[in-house]
Chain A
Amino acid sequence: MPAQVITITSGKGGVGKTTAVANIAVALASEGAKVVCIDGDIGLRNLDVILGLENRIVYDIVDVIEGRCRLRQAMIRDKKLPELYLIPAAQTRDKNAVSPSDMNRLIKDLRNDFDFVLIDSPAGIERGFKNAIAPADRVLVVTNPEISAVRDADRVIGILEAEEKGPGALIINRLNPALVKNHDMLSAEDVLDLLAVELIGIVPEDENVIIGSNRGAPVAFDPKSRAGQAFRNIAKRLRGEKVPFLDLDNTGGFWQRLQRLAGRK
């Protein structure tokens, strides 16, 4: 079966696109899928760092497109997962080095050899974003539960609809259940109410995400992390499994949970 090409985008910067790509890729590959991630953020590459593959880069995506190397030479194999590959972005060029049809050609060569192609889109709605969504079969829109991020996600979903890429599926990242409870943060329901699209994952705020990114070991490797679990669930949903959403409300200790179960609040 040819690969599913999935682009992860957001509009606003800093909401966790690259982290989401790295973690979903790790989760998919841990379950035995053949995965290649492409860093579409040319000029500001990050995905290699988060995957811990920075020091292995020899060739990058612009080298492939401009014919300085073969596609296979630019693909870096992950340290732990033999079925996970990265095609890094060029750091010394800009978005205009690549066009949407370059991306389509590149992806066409990958489709038959992989189960999933994940594309990390840059922030914004300009050239880099257009490049990243051009080959996509499916688009995941990452947002945070805050008004500015949701407004930008709305704009991106509007563009996806206009370009007939489907409305996209939503990942709500960095939700803090305690803040939501005190009405200091938008809830997942508030976000969905406005955006009215399919939800594919809610990722709780978790400091292990930052620690993992800095170590080059995405949190999806960590069986105890709740954010890691949320990303693993997204990966399962991408493979067509039905997985219930995490109950993010059990922030209290064992006794509190027991009391809640007993209905004593």
Chain B
Amino acid sequence: MNETNSLIQIKGLRDGLLVSLDDAPWETQRVALLEQVDTQLGFFQGARLALDVASQVLHVNDLVDLRDQLSERGIFLWAVISESPTTEKTAQLLGLATRISKPRPEEGRKFAVEDLGEETAMLLHRTIRSGTRIEFAGHVVVLGDVNPGAEIISEGNILVWGRLRGMVHAGAKGNRSAVICALELSPTQLRIADEVSAALRPQQNPRPELVRINKDGKLQAELWAPG
């Protein structure tokens, strides 16, 4: 093993390979990874690869380049795991998974209501289109529409300054006091904690609405008014 290769750890998972990088410069690691792949092409070819990039901050170009270079070698990059929110967001926008094992919906019930310590929020200033899945541990604020086929899963509240027509899940880890607000509410489905509601009847005259869990434990929409 030469020096560059020691930057990279490769582990076998049930459904593919997990490659862990450290915090050395991205370019060095990228080259090292491709070198390693090229020397053992037979081993890597056809593999499903998940990449743990530690706290590297990666942008669209970095991930697209690597994905294409891997794909040319017959390797399918399906997940990027990162501690950096920027990298995580980039990966999600590219349709890559950001967790290796998906938590099952039932798992939400096991969590106690958690205080959202620092009240962090993710701001998305764009239209969230079909096929995009946004997962975030804090609140999510969208300045734009959420289209049918898009999913937003937040552990806190979800605010949509636009039309909400996709699926959103607020309080995903069991916070029953989470709320969902939108300027126009015609979602495919809404979820708060473990309550699910099918499409609400679209309003004739759309108005800003806020959805919360009411006394009876059901999802209920009301006028979203200031205050």
Contacts and interface: CB of A to CB of B under 8 A. Distances in A.
- What is the size category of the interface that chain A forms with chain B? 20 to 34
Given A162-B93, A196-B145, A155 B130 contact: yes
A161 B130 contact: no
Q: Is the interface of B mostly helix, strand, loop or mixed?
A: loop
Contacts of B127: 196
Nearest to B72: A99
Given A101-B68, A134-B68, A151 B61 contact: no
B94 A158 contact: no
A151 B60 contact: no
B79 to A, nearest CB: 16
B206 interface: no
A96 B126 CA distance: 33
A130 B129 CA distance: 18
A157 interface: yes
A130 to B, nearest CB: 7
Interface string B74-93: 10000000000000000001
A154 B130 contact: yes
Contacts of A194: 145, 147-148, 165
B60 A163 contact: yes
B202 interface: no
A203 B64 CA distance: 34
A245 B149 CA distance: 30
Q: Is the interface of A mostly helix, strand, loop or mixed?
A: helix
B68 A100 contact: yes
Nearest to A102: B72
Contact of B149 (A134, A154, A159, A161): A154
A157 B127 CA distance: 10
A99 B71 contact: yes
A152 interface: yes
A211 B117 CA distance: 66
Contacts of A196: 127, 145
B61 A155 contact: no
A164 interface: yes
Interface string B54-66: 0000001100100
Contact of A158 (B61, B68, B72, B129): B129
A161 B68 contact: no
A127 B71 contact: yes
Which of A101, A130, A154, A194: most chain B Cβ within 10 A?
Answer: A154
A96 B60 CA distance: 23
5 contacts: A99-B68, A130-B68, A157-B129, A163-B64, A194-B145
